Structure 1
Amino acid sequence: MNGKIVSCGIVLLDPEGRVLLAHATGTNHWDIPKGQGEPGETQVQSARREMVEETGIDVMASRLVDLGRYAYRRDKDLHLFAARASADELDLSRCVCVSLFPRREDGVMIPEMDAWRWTAPRDVEHYASRSLTRLFDTTLSLAELHRTL
């Protein structure tokens, strides 16, 4: 083990190959639903739990394709899974985030994610962090994933 944090997440694509991004509350960054595992969880369990907590979408494990582990930042790797959104998962107005954190200014508990969008691969760089944009540009092609998923 290299001592890096491993964050598990799901790359959810719609029928047109757009990726689901969630807006991190209080920042200008959008991200895929992901997070660290809890004790005793497998990577797939962590990824599914994070997706439910951050979007309300429960992607059954049988639908997930294990993409493996990717170098992400100096201190963090990502273990990613992919799935094609089903028809009942396309309406992002139904998304809800139940994962809360204390707002810096006043300690009020607020949702970790506060908006969701389907994002074309060419537009990811306008929303996502440099680390996520670089991953999709260099190592994990969303266009290729769209063709093979």
Structure 2
Amino acid sequence: MSAPVVHVSAAVVTDERGRALVVRKRGTTLFQQPGGKPDPGETPLQTVRREVAEEIGVHADADAYTPLGRFRDDAANEPGHLVVADAFALRIRHDDAIAAAEIAELRWLSADELDAVPLAPLSRRQLLPLAWA
């Protein structure tokens, strides 16, 4: 029997200093990329654009996003589930991001700060390394 799957779209957001953005949702302890589950009928790109606008207040055009691929890992907030994420790169000015909607906290990280922050498995093992590739 395989684990239930949660489908999401996620943004690997970087700033002009080469740092990567991670967010922590209210009621959780792990940081992860902005993003979330699709609404009915949404494409992965539509989902990530909506989630980024809701969670960090950034309304970027579709052509500002670069597809990175589809990634699988252990879900951070749904024990026993796998997360399948369609990931997109987005570069913004760090001052443009704000914690909104269900986001309790956001942080900008450099590659050498990864061990100082509790991160979701997908973020730590797969998505954040793409920010500095």
TM band (smaller chain): 0.7 to 0.9
TM-score (norm 1): 0.73
- Structure 1 runs (4+) deviating above 6 angstroms are none
> What is the deviation of 1:136?
4.1
Q: Which residue of 1 aligns with 2:78?
A: none
Q: Structure 2: which 5+ residue stretches go unaligned? A: 75-80
Distance across 2 between alignment mates of 1:50 and 1:38: 10
Per the TM alignment, residue 125 of structure 1 is displaced from its structure 2 partner at its CA by 3.5
Other-structure match for 2:113: 123
The answer on whether the counterparts of 2:8 and 2:85 sit within 8 Å (CA) in structure 1 is: yes
1:48-63 matched pairs, under 5 angstroms: 48-63=49-64
Whether contact under 8 Å (2:68, 2:86) holds in the other structure is yes
Amino acid in the other structure paired with 1:91: D
Measure the CA separation in 2 of the matches of 1:37 and 1:113: 17
Check if 1:97 corresponds to 2:100: yes
Q: Counterpart in 1 of 2:84? A: 77
Identity %: 26
CA-atom RMSD in angstroms: 2.2
Q: Structure 1 67/41 Cα, relative in aligned 2: closer, same or farther at 3 Å? A: same
In structure 2, the residue matched to 1:32 is: 33
Q: Number of residue pairs matched?
A: 124
Deviation of 1:5 after TM superposition, in Å, equals: 2.1
Q: Which residue type is aligned with residue 123 of structure 2? A: L
Cα distance in 2 between the residues matched to 1:50 and 1:17: 22
Structure 1 unpaired stretches of 5+: 99-111, 145-149
AA partner of residue 44 (structure 1): L
Q: Which amino acid aligns with 2:124?
A: T
Q: Give the drift of 1:51.
A: 0.7
Structure whose CA Rg is larger:
1
CA shift in 2, pair 1:11/1:70, >3 Å? same
